[in-house]
Structure 1
Amino acid sequence: MSEARRRGLRVADTDDKGRCVMVRTVRFHELGGPEVLRLEDVEVGEPGPGELVIRVEAIGLNRAEVLFRSGHYIEPVKEFPARLGTEAAGVVEAVGANVAGFEAGQPVSVIPAFSMNDYGVYAERVIVPASAVLRRPDGLGAVEGAAVWMPYLTAYGALVDVGGMRAGDTIVLTAASSSVGLAAIRIAHRVGAVPIATTRTRVKAERLRKAGAAEVIVTDEEDVAQRVLGLTAGRGAELVFDAIAGPGVVELAKAVAPGGTLLLYGALSGEVTPYPGFELGMPALNMRTYTVTHETTNDPERLRRAAAFVSSGLRSGAFEPAVDRVFDLDEIVEAHRYLEAGAQVGKIVVTV
């Protein structure tokens, strides 16, 4: 991929009078807080082999963009100006060479399956790999289409595909009010597992119960391991799905059933994460990390199975997007501030 493409400086499109077409694009020229985000006019060109042009209607915000923008993501920003975003919904406008199954005018969703050093969807019109695009199910609007795939693909890939979640299993979910946590609750019910949600304070507890959590543990007031062991007759949870990491994994590991798995899919604590097995006397503990891009969306067969599972749940009504708040593209700085505040229950979406 060319350096120009990474910067978003494509060969300019022209209108019917031969004039360049510019699109509003969010970029940042330095690492920092939400204030570094700028809405700029950028030229956009034709798709290359294996690519699509998407007219963006809505963008799903993810914590990964905050980390990338601030320089704390699992991959660093390679050059400036940089772009953001891996999840969106829109309509296909143009199809590149060697792309099958898509046509102009088709409603689609873009899923996290590429590096933000190469592509970004915070814009009115974007070029993305066709491998990162899914057909949008009938009846699913743009806002919902930008909010559903990352949460459900992440939760399915980690809990079902990797973790082997089965009927009767108990699942402990940290950061349960996130879009992934809410999706995990519904997926647990779909397979007959029992989802236990954790939340720091009581502010979100009732909403988590209404979302389907079998039990809610308020971590500022309760001992997680003690409560989980009490709820499972001393057995523990077959899976703990953790977005926080850091020193807290020691306490979480106490809640894992013998032979169970502690799955880490985020590091919201920003602290060093120890391996708790030795401190706890070397129990039969499995502990691993999971990222949706490494294990699901960039593996065609795993993605096919995951997309089929999620689509089935959407058709049946078992799954639905959880949208907390919608912003306009002009409000992208405010949207990122809201995302960082962590008060949301579900997905934050930006319309274009």
Structure 2
Amino acid sequence: MARVVVFDETGGPEVLRVVEEPAGDPGPGEVRIRLEASAVNRLDELTRSGASPMPVRLPHARLGCEGTGIIDALGEGVDGFGVGDAVLITAVPDMTSNGTYADYTVLPAARVVKRPAGLAPAKAAALWVAYSTAYGALVEKAKMRPGDTVLITAASGTVGLAAIQIANQIGAVPIAVTRRTAKKDGLLAAGAAAVIATDQDDLAKAASLHTGGAGADIVLDSVMGPGLADLAAAAKRFTGTLVTVGWLDPRPAPYPSNAITTHRYMSFEHTLDPAAVRRIAAFLFAGLRTGALDPAVDRVFALEEIVEAHRYLESGRQAPGKIIVTGGTST
């Protein structure tokens, strides 16, 4: 028997519970993964609480869209992988059926890539969702180029930190936006070329100052809400691009119409495309080799501490980096 986190109703962290059930066998084209570590993401929180637009299969729904582990069984017709391979999970489009908060999960082989040698499980679990989202939004959607100025909201979050590193890897100029002046030094240390703290700075004026009056070539927004209009005003007129990747502010956020290009980006747009996954993996793994990319881990919880992990996420007390839940087969 193996451990798995399930919930029978949406609500607070206390709805999560750990149960034991068979690990499951892979079908044709599938692999079974013995999970070593999984990340706790905002999407997990939204799904658990009932705030996500994604359907939730209740009761006995699973949770977790990101993880890493070792392949321990292969289904018929799987090529390119072997038992014992360390892998990253690239997409769990229906995590309420086969989520990663577990000892094992069974997924199509097309949803995993081999884990780079030497990448520790905790860091591996912190890599894919944040970095593939930032890469997909900036490189695939916004066509970021060397020299572009990139305004990044929620910059101390995992996607924001990934975007700063990816912009630097390309040779673009990342300008971090945060709500708190106290986070300025940390964001500069993380690689931001400049930091705008909206508890002190006027966003549009500061963006104009840091871009020589031109406005940002690209705005990457994880917040949405009414502030979207101010972000659009900080973009370069006519040629600027606004890409939204999250919805931390649930209030209405009408898209601006001030002659800039806008995109609503969801990572499954690329993580379900095998060709795009190969491009993402090549880019991210190159960044890991050179040290340009370095996924941060804030705190590690055991699987049995999943309720505490979600409470910690909701508290807002976490330092920059992912919250990780460790796997490991139960006895």
Query: TM-score, with normalisation over the residues of structure 1?
Result: 0.90
Q: Does 1:298 align with 2:272?
A: yes
Match of 1:117 among 91, 96, 107: 96
- Structure 2 stretches lacking a partner, 5+ long: none
* 1:59-70 map, 5 Å: 59-70=38-49
How far has the Cα of 1:113 moved from its partner? Answer: 4.1
Query: What are the superposed Cα offsets for residues 120-156 of structure 1, whole Å, 9 maximum, x if unpaired?
Result: 1100111122111110101011111111111111111
How far has the Cα of 1:204 moved from its partner? Answer: 2.3
Letter matched to residue 63 of structure 2: L
State the match for 2:240 in structure 1. Answer: 260
Aligned partners of 1:27 and 1:37 also within 8 Å: yes
State the match for 2:149 in structure 1. Answer: 170
Aligned partners of 1:113 and 1:131 also within 8 Å: no
Match of 1:341 among 315, 320, 324: 315
How far has the Cα of 1:35 moved from its partner? Answer: 0.9
State the match for 2:110 in structure 1. Answer: 131
State the match for 1:34 in structure 2. Answer: 13
How far has the Cα of 1:93 moved from its partner? Answer: 0.3
CA distance in 1, matches of 2:197, 2:71: 44
How far has the Cα of 1:44 moved from its partner? Answer: 2.1
How far has the Cα of 1:238 moved from its partner? Answer: 0.8
Moved more, 53-62 or 342-351: 342-351
- Structure 1 stretches lacking a partner, 5+ long: 1-21, 278-282
Match of 1:85 among 56, 60, 64: 64
State the match for 2:291 in structure 1. Answer: 317
CA distance in 1, matches of 2:73, 2:132: 26
State the match for 1:270 in structure 2. Answer: 250
Match of 1:351 among 319, 326, 330: 326
How far has the Cα of 1:30 moved from its partner? Answer: 0.5
Letter matched to residue 274 of structure 2: P
Higher relative contact order structure (alpha carbons within 8 Å, sequence separation ≥ 6): 2
Match of 2:176 among 184, 187, 197: 197
Pairs aligned (count)? 325
CA distance in 2, matches of 1:262, 1:177: 19
CA distance in 2, matches of 1:131, 1:219: 42
Letter matched to residue 109 of structure 2: A
Q: Secondary structure at the match of 2:140?
A: helix
Aligned partners of 1:175 and 1:181 also within 8 Å: yes
Flag as ranges the 4+ runs of structure 1 deviating above 3 A: none
State the match for 2:167 in structure 1. Answer: 188
Q: What is the percentage of aligned positions where both structures have the same residue?
A: 50
Aligned partners of 2:137 and 2:243 also within 8 Å: yes
State the match for 1:246 in structure 2. Answer: 225
Letter matched to residue 246 of structure 1: G
Q: Does 1:231 align with 2:210?
A: yes
State the match for 1:11 in structure 2. Answer: none
Aligned partners of 2:165 and 2:293 also within 8 Å: yes
State the match for 1:154 in structure 2. Answer: 133
Aligned partners of 2:141 and 2:263 also within 8 Å: no
Match of 2:259 among 281, 284, 292: 284
Q: Does 1:74 align with 2:53?
A: yes
Match of 1:330 among 304, 321, 325: 304
Letter matched to residue 348 of structure 1: I
Match of 1:102 among 81, 84, 93: 81
Q: Secondary structure at the match of 2:116?
A: coil
How far has the Cα of 1:76 moved from its partner? Answer: 2.1
Q: Secondary structure at the match of 1:118?
A: helix
CA distance in 2, matches of 1:148, 1:200: 25
State the match for 1:46 in structure 2. Answer: 25
